[in-house]
Amino acid sequence: MGGILDQDIKYLPGVGPRRKEILSKELGIETFGDLLEYYPYKYVDRSRIYTISEMSGEMPFVQIRGRILSFEEFDMGRRKKRVVAHMTDGTGIIDLVWFSYAKQITKDYKVNTDYIVFGKPTIYNHRYQIAHPEIELADELKLSEMGMQPYYITTEKMKNAGITSRTLEKLVKTLLEQLRTPLPETLPPFIVNPRMMVSRDTAFRHIHYPKDSSEMSHARERLKFEELFYVQLNIVRYASDHRRKYRGYVFQHVGELFNDFYSNHLPFPLTGAQKRVIREIRKDMGSGRQMNRLLQGDVGSGKTLVALMTMLIALDNGYQACIMAPTEILAEQHLATLREFLGDMNIRVELLTGIVKGKRRQEVLDGLRDGSIQILVGTHAVIEDTVVFRRLGFVVVDEQHRFGVAQRAKLWGKSENPPHVLVMTATPIPRTLAMTLYGDLDVSVIDELPPGRKPVVTLHKYDSQTTSLYQGIRQQIREGRQVYIVFPLIKESEKTDLKNLEEGFEVLTQVFPEFRLSKVHGKMKPAEKEEEMQRFVSGETQILVATTVIEVGVNVPNASVMVILDAQRFGLSQLHQLRGRVGRGADQSYCILVSKPQLSSDTKKRIDIMCDTNDGFQIAEADLKLRGPGDLEGTQQSGMAFDLKIADIARDGQIVQMARDEAQRIIEDDPLCQKAEYQMLWNRLKELRKTNINWAAIS
């Protein structure tokens, strides 16, 4: 931000080294600029005074002007006192209550003096009261200047050190008073003027001290736009550079392998959506620029088939292809699926994961080097330096959110030109988020399910209704089906969760003595986990008791019931992913969400959405609105939780789009970032790249 805003926060009057340490640890505030960008989370209108006769129990924060008539003290045991001040404004009486600091209160506030009191009124013993109010002498408060009072989020440690929202408010006020000259502008007039935006200086002053809600919303609009605009400008610039620098292999012809597969080995007719996506990918691969495409498709929409068919185009042009999965189980499933699809076609497909060792591993490495292996399926073991391809032309990355940008770049080093990259995800991502998370990727969507797939029926039960639930499970298994029962395993409470799983497993063994059960959780050794999974896949066990390790990609067409215990503890996209494990065969499948009867309104919403729709995109939109982008499955793992300080990708979709369009227009006009009229933008982008935003991760 330059200049005064780069100054160390400890030099701001009222901070000092001790407070700086707390602000830095708790909120990441190191400089004047950081404090300025720590925005209020709400405002309370302080310009209005209420009379006591206007009170009602449901009111939010209010201000009253009055005099204290008298104090009363009540013993609360163990040297604790409750102090009550009876106050009047001439229209009625209200009690001000403190549960500590008794001596201090009676010393600080005097009877028969005019005060302005601020707080949230409640009713106790048929009288209005305000607990721990803010009190100031009436003649010191100029109400006309009060406007909207900002409130800042503080942590427990800050409160213990005496840094409250009010403290932060005073520090911001001090800072704004020190900024005597207006802050330099960071957006050029051709962006600001047509949109009638306030200046940057005004935006910062009004976001912290708006006189009214109109000032506040103008300030927010300006700051949100600027934040999103620079994120988008960086992404669009990166993507444009990438396209210019990297030539892609040109796969001109669709040959024998593709045609043979299409005519003789298709397991089911392609849906319109699959055909459309294959066309989009073919166009990219023949264009001479390197493809970077995100393929979104709900669980079971046939992404793997599309990936295989496009890999065959690479093979037809004399190149090797590779598919990377996040886990060994998933890699093995891909291997089995591809081999099953290809049938007796003469194509060599091999596996490379951590389990492939010794002589077997050497054979695979040799086969990649001499080109005899045409398709490699693996985990991130594929990007190790020992793995050398003869001619790698096409890479499919499955579930990209477990696979960061740095790793994608390593793949590019494996051939003279970077291979074409197709990223597949079964976590549908709303458009505004995809534009930001995967800004450098073109997006394809498979939005139809293959024919014959019945939507999964989702039901909600309380944990008091287990008897009927167990009956239903019995019925399904007797009809030859298999069942998943999922326990939450959430990091914070791992120990108790594991205990619940172990105890739950014991209980279920007793409930279903006539059936065989497998148990899988992430704390098991890979080989054990593998063995238990295999027993379920082969049908040797009928019930798989697991944690969310089965969330991604496990394919057991015979499993038709997914029971999710403590469903209130899962996020929407996680519930949707788990539900996608069933409904893979021709039978009607069921997903049963079991929860405690007391649910918060957000949780209730989540469960209702799951019961109402199977559409992953609707669910992702709802998830984004309920939880915000930082929590979305995957955005955290890849370091993509870029620190948006004020914008919210979920709720500010329109601004994201506006910012994107503007960024696109500028890059098209100045792809080499050299024109004088945009110099302010390129300089600002350089400054921002030095800050804490993980720009590389964004792209």
- pLDDT at residue 268 above 50? yes
* Residues 283-332 pLDDT 10s: 999 998 889 898 988 877 889 999 999 999 999 999 999 999 888 878 98
pLDDT at 417: 82
pLDDT at 105: 86
Q: What's the rounded mean pLDDT across residues 518-540?
A: 85
- pLDDT at residue 631 above 60? no
pLDDT at 402: 57
- pLDDT at residue 30 above 90? yes
For residue 518, the 8-state DSSP code is: E
The amino acid that residue 673 corresponds to is C
pLDDT at 636: 34
If pLDDT is split at 50, 70 and 90, which confidence band does 550 have? low
The residue to which tokens 């999922």 are assigned:
486
If pLDDT is split at 50, 70 and 90, which confidence band does 2 have? low
If pLDDT is split at 50, 70 and 90, which confidence band does 140 have? low
pLDDT at 619: 85
- pLDDT at residue 434 above 90? no
User: Cα(279)–Cα(439) distance, rounded to whole angstroms?
Assistant: 21
- pLDDT at residue 476 above 90? yes
If pLDDT is split at 50, 70 and 90, which confidence band does 436 have? confident
User: Cα(473)–Cα(468) distance, rounded to whole angstroms?
Assistant: 9
Q: What's the rounded mean pLDDT across residues 390-412?
A: 76
62: helix, coil or strand? strand
Query: Residue 420 class from Cβ within 10 Å (0-12 exposed, 13-18 middle, 19+ buried)?
Result: buried
User: Cα(647)–Cα(240) distance, rounded to whole angstroms?
Assistant: 25
pLDDT at 602: 85
* Residues 13-25 pLDDT 10s: 999 999 999 999 9
Beta bridge partners of 101: none
Torsion angles phi and psi, residue 539, rounded to 5:
90, 5
Distances (CA, A) of 584 to 147, 333, 368: 59, 14, 33
Q: What's the rounded mean pLDDT across residues 257-270?
A: 94
- pLDDT at residue 273 above 80? yes
pLDDT at 640: 38
- Cβ atoms 422, 292 nearer than 8 A: no
Chain-wide mean pLDDT for the chain?
86
pLDDT at 632: 42
- pLDDT at residue 225 above 50? yes
Residue closest to 570 by CA, chosen among 609, 533, 543 = 609
- pLDDT at residue 540 above 50? yes
If pLDDT is split at 50, 70 and 90, which confidence band does 679 have? very high
pLDDT at 454: 82
Residue closest to 593 by CA, chosen among 566, 618, 612, 569 = 566
Residue closest to 482 by CA, chosen among 594, 582, 565 = 582
User: Which pTM does this prediction carry?
Assistant: 0.67
71: helix, coil or strand? strand
The residue to which tokens 């805003």 are assigned:
5
Sequence-ordered strand ranges (E) for 180-274: none
* Residues 52-95 pLDDT 10s: 998 876 777 888 999 999 999 888 877 788 899 999 999 999 99
- pLDDT at residue 497 above 80? no
Q: Decide which of 205 and 649 is more confident.
A: 205
Distances (CA, A) of 195 to 199, 223, 523, 669: 11, 13, 54, 20
If pLDDT is split at 50, 70 and 90, which confidence band does 699 have? very low
pLDDT at 471: 93
420: helix, coil or strand? strand
- pLDDT at residue 610 above 60? yes
State the first-to-last Cα distance of the chain, in angstroms, to the nearest integer: 23
- pLDDT at residue 694 above 50? no
Structure tokens at 460: 């909600």
Distances (CA, A) of 274 to 149, 264, 277, 454, 539: 54, 18, 5, 18, 31
Q: What's the rounded mean pLDDT across residues 552-577?
A: 84
